[in-house]
Structure 1
Amino acid sequence: MTRLPGDPGPLRRTGYVLGLRLPPENRDWVRHDLTDAGWRGRLLLRHLMLMVPFCLLPALLPASWPVRLMVALLALLTSMFVVAIGSDDLRRSRLRRHGLTPPEDRR
């Protein structure tokens, strides 16, 4: 897979996943990430990467394994649902944070 111009390194990409703003030299990569085809899938994948460690925490609960599994699945599925519903707003916010103009709504 080829790297795009302005592709951030692993450390900057981790910060981007956590919601930090990238420097101006990564602006073209951010535009590609949030406007090209598949942006919703990438947004959900970033959220999944954030949620997996939190969903592993119920393994430490003093309960039977089915209860721990259901708590983890409930947390993961509800958070993914909320991100999927608010994906347009999350994208607009992140684009503005990087000094980019969000695309017009096609409603």
Structure 2
Amino acid sequence: MTTQNKVRRPNPVQWIGYACGRKLPDSMQDWVRKDLIGDWAIPRHMVRSMVPFIPIFAAFFLFPGPVWLRGSMVLLGLFLALFFAAAYMEQNRRRRLERHGLSPDLENPKKVARYHAEKAAYEKAHPHTF
């Protein structure tokens, strides 16, 4: 594989910045596209969205009290963060695509093909009668 065809990946510092909302260099657009609309985009989004909360979760362990109580604070924070990450996943994906100069309407090709197949099957089973 030549270096021209190889998809550039962000280094760890760039990835942490990307997870916190920073824009990656234009040379990494292919990686960003794959990251945001690839086959594993949803699990990647959920992990990526937890990165900014790590300092908050760590700070919870500095509170006084028993370990189980501090762990419960972290767990509650984690559940809330995951809930909001899932709730705003689509808006976040569109914003990241736009920020990186890509169309916010990009979708996973497999998801689009599955949608069209399901729509065709439905229309075949339930034809319009006007």
Instruction: Decide whether aligned partners of structure 1 residues 104 and 19 sit closer, same or farther in structure 2, where only a CA change above 3 A counts.
Output: closer
Amino acid at match of 1:77: F
3-state SS of 1:42 partner? helix
1:34-45 mapped onto 2 (5 Å cutoff): 34-45=36-47
3-state SS of 2:61 partner? helix
Identity of aligned residues (%): 32
How many residue pairs are counted as aligned between the two chains?
104
- 2:96 is the alignment partner of 1:98: no
Q: Which residue of 2 aligns with 1:16?
A: 18
Specify the structure having the higher radius of gyration (Cα): 2
Q: Tell me how far apart the structure 2 counterparts of residues 60 and 22 of structure 1 sit (CA, whole Å).
A: 33
Q: Which residue of 1 aligns with 2:119?
A: none
CA contact (8 A) 2:35 2:44 kept: yes
TM-score by length of 1: 0.84
TM-score by length of 2: 0.71
Unaligned runs of 5+ in 2: 1-5, 116-130
Q: Which residue of 2 aligns with 1:68?
A: 70
CA displacement, residues 18-41 of structure 1 (integer Å, 9 cap, x when unaligned):
210011111111011001111111
CA contact (8 A) 2:46 2:86 kept: yes
Amino acid at match of 1:88: E
CA contact (8 A) 2:36 2:93 kept: yes
Q: Tell me how far apart the structure 2 counterparts of residues 6 and 104 of structure 1 sit (CA, whole Å).
A: 20
Amino acid at match of 1:70: S
Q: Tell me how far apart the structure 2 counterparts of residues 65 and 9 of structure 1 sit (CA, whole Å).
A: 35
The ranges of structure 1 where at least 4 consecutive aligned residues each deviate by more than 3 angstroms after the TM superposition are 104-107
CA contact (8 A) 1:52 1:76 kept: no
